[in-house]
Amino acid sequence: MNRRRSAVIVDDNAAARVLLKHYLTEGHPDITIVGEAGSLAQGIRQVRETRPDVLFLDVELKKVKGKVVESGFDLLKEIEPLRPTVIFTTGFEGYAVRAIRFSAFDYLVKPFDADQLAEVLARLDKEVDDAARPDHPSLHANLQPHDGISLPVVLKGGGVSLELVKKARIIHAQPVARGQNTLVELEGREEVVVTRTLGQLESLLTPEDHFLRIHDSHLVNFNYVQRYVRGEPGYVVVTVRKEGKPIPVSRTMKPDVVAMLDRWFPLPPSSR
């Protein structure tokens, strides 16, 4: 359901501001642009004066001799306790992890097009609708650095958006596109394709987070495991969109699966 929202754009690149305003004006009449700024000081003033619902924010706002001296992160510190929904728009992927710490809603990597922006805003509509449920956590619930992960998601219209999600929402991952990309199933939404290998995800989703690679082609969050069925081959059943999905366990990984279950989900002591 669309709703009226106000927005401020902060970007030191005037051409980038013009393009984003064009996308919003032409495709999203429910969003009213109430301000724009090309520097840190102007951005702070605009946000404080207009108190926007959404803040489109560049990361690198000023450089001196190649060093960033003013950033979007500085702006977010200065505008506290105001908490607009932050969508970073930047040409650099490397700031995504830091963006998690500031509870950014999304992270669009330039150049992005109108369709990619539309996907992000549609997801924002859904998140806000979900957040209205009393059992749903706040949209701005702060993530600790170890709780979140940035996923470079392939968008339907082409291009990539870095989505910031809690590790606990990741159910299952498996390779696609000859192993170059990975299909990731997330709680509460459809599956997405990310431009990382399964091995790269495995390095960030560890047994300490309840994840285990139970097969060459499957990484599983054991918080979603319903049961483990022994046999040849054995398999676990995970909950995906309220349904049970069997996933094979390789012969070599069976001891690790049993150890994982014993560690996090121990059997009650025998009465005998």
**Tens-place pLDDT, residues 64-118:** 888 888 999 999 999 988 989 999 998 877 676 677 667 788 888 888 899 989 9
Strands (E), the chain: 5-10, 31-37, 54-57, 60-64, 67-71, 85-90, 106-109, 148-154, 160-166, 170-176, 181-186, 192-194, 211-215, 218-221, 225-229, 234-240, 243-249
The one-letter code for the residue type at 78 is E
Phi/psi-derived region of residue 219, left when phi > 0, alpha when psi is between -120 and 50, beta in every other case: beta
Instruction: Return the higher-pLDDT residue of 167 and 3.
Output: 167
The pLDDT of residue 141: 45
Instruction: Return the higher-pLDDT residue of 271 and 158.
Output: 158
Hey, what are 99's tokens? 């963006």
The pLDDT of residue 132: 46
- Residues of the chain with pLDDT > 70, as a percent, come to 88
User: What span, in angstroms and rounded, lies between the C-alpha atoms of 169 and 61?
Assistant: 32
The pLDDT of residue 123: 84
User: What span, in angstroms and rounded, lies between the C-alpha atoms of 154 and 116?
Assistant: 10
Whether residue 128 has pLDDT greater than 60: yes
Identify the CA nearest to 152 among candidates 163, 143, 138: 163
The pLDDT of residue 136: 41
Identify the CA nearest to 173 among candidates 111, 240, 100, 118: 240
The pLDDT of residue 147: 76
**Number of Cβ atoms within 10 Å of the Cβ of 50:** 17
Whether residue 49 has pLDDT greater than 90: yes
Mean per-residue pLDDT, 157-174: 85
State pLDDT tens for residues 167-211: 999 999 999 978 889 999 999 877 899 988 999 899 889 999 999
The residue whose two tokens read 């990731």 is: 184
> What phi and psi values does residue 83 have, to the nearest 5 degrees?
-135, 70
Hey, what are 253's tokens? 């990984």
Angle, vertex CA 68, rays to CA 63 and CA 70, nearest 5: 85
The one-letter code for the residue type at 15 is A
Strands 160-166 and 106-109: antiparallel
User: What span, in angstroms and rounded, lies between the C-alpha atoms of 249 and 257?
Assistant: 8
Instruction: Return the higher-pLDDT residue of 190 and 55.
Output: 55
Is the full-model pTM beyond 0.85? no
The residues facing 234 across adjacent strands are: 249
> What phi and psi values does residue 114 have, to the nearest 5 degrees?
-65, -35
Work out the widest C-alpha separation in the chain, in whole angstroms. Answer: 75
The pLDDT of residue 143: 39
Mean per-residue pLDDT, 131-146: 44
120-124, 162-166, 171-175: which range is least confident on average? 162-166
Confidence band, pLDDT 50/70/90 cuts, at residue 55: very high
Segment (H or E) for 263: helix 254-264
The pLDDT of residue 106: 84
